[in-house]
Amino acid sequence: MPEQKSQAEMLELILKVRNREITAKKAAALLGISRKTYYKWEDRALAGMAVALAERPDGRPPGPPEDPEKESLRKENERLKQENLFLQKRLQLKDIIHSMTTGGSQSSKKK
């Protein structure tokens, strides 16, 4: 069985064929494949090169779409944080009012 060539070696052979340095038959033999398979690989390599050279928008590509369940849990977590903050403020306000009504009268009794 022929030894497996690296992608770099395969690319080098494809470029040599494209530059007419060697024949497709010789490249196929060096790769241990049929000429028909060589041409399939060549087509894939050239197509991949065309995709790699295509114009793309600047910046990072968008990440994978957010998992709907994860997004729902994130929103629920944010809602609960807001509710918790509201209840903490309400409790503080209640304590202030309570201390004003009871603490204020107690302080006047102590004087």
Burial letters 66-75, b for 16+ CB under 10 A, else e: eeeeeeeeee
CA distances (Å), origin 86, targets 76, 79, 82: 15, 11, 6
Q: How many CA atoms lie within 13 A of 99 on its CB side?
A: 5
What is the average per-residue pLDDT within 24-31?
95
Q: How many CA atoms lie within 13 A of 104 on its CB side?
A: 7
What is the average per-residue pLDDT within 42-46?
94
pTM of the entire predicted model: 0.49
Which of 45-59, 72-86, 95-109 comes out lowest in average pLDDT? Answer: 95-109
